[in-house]
Amino acid sequence: MVRCLRTMRVHHGLLFAVCLTLAACVTSPERVGSASAQWHPSPNHGPRKANYVILHHTSSDTLERALATLRNPSAEVSSHYLIDRDGRVLQLVDENQRAWHAGESYWGGHSDMNSASIGIELVNNGREPFAPAQIKALMALLSEIRSRHKIPRANYLGHADVAPGRKTDPSALFPWRQLAMSGFGLWCEPPFETPPDDFDHVFGLAVLGYDVRDPLRAISAYKLHFSPDGGIEMEEADRAMLYCLVKNITISGRE
């Protein structure tokens, strides 16, 4: 009996050692995201696949205040990344997870943009120019994201684009043209081709992706993105640029 007990103790000890060895070999799944970003996990997320990037400004003055909100379970809001004015990048949610940043939204037939997008928040109160270091960091991050997810050129949007009338971020000071010149978003440079007389700009906005159930809101969001200094009316230059954008989508297609 004593010999049996000793044998059992030896076997149990060997089994325990084997378990420890196996446990040491098991690693947790790697997060999908930027290797240069500081990891500040938020609990507010769920799984999905990304095909869009949506850009926001925080409306808060400090990184700390924005981070506290984006990591607060009761707030139920988050983003995949948060970029400070000095270019520091924080990652809050794995890119393969569904962050809660877009809310009620629509673009090109998608009525739940959280399920199809990566959200990036930029620390900015909405009344200030975006810092050069911040935009430089954003461009580098967008390059990484594009290489990982093959995000189509047309699918880099603002919160206002997908939630017209409800959101106005990023503000009129955001450098959309600069991003588009690097392949992140659509843009057309003048001189523009004159659109046909029968070109319906509301239909054009719908083709681009906007929710046009309220045409005035759609026009406002379009102007904020493509003509922020042009008032609120759809001018001929706005119609001509829209016609150019629609033609680009029609020629290149939308993935």
- In angstroms, the CA 82 to CA 40 distance is 10
* 204 DSSP assignment: H
Shortest CA distance to 68 belongs to which of 123, 30, 132? 123
Q: Which residue among the candidates 95, 104, 121, 144 is catalytic per the annotation?
A: 121
Using CA atoms, how far residue 116 sits from 11, 48, 71, 101, 119, in Å, is 52, 7, 21, 11, 10
121 is catalytic: yes
Outline where DSSP puts E strands in 58-116.
81-83, 89-91, 97-99
Outline where the chain has alpha helix (H): 2-25, 63-70, 132-149, 159-162, 176-181, 201-208, 215-226, 236-252
Catalytic residues: 121
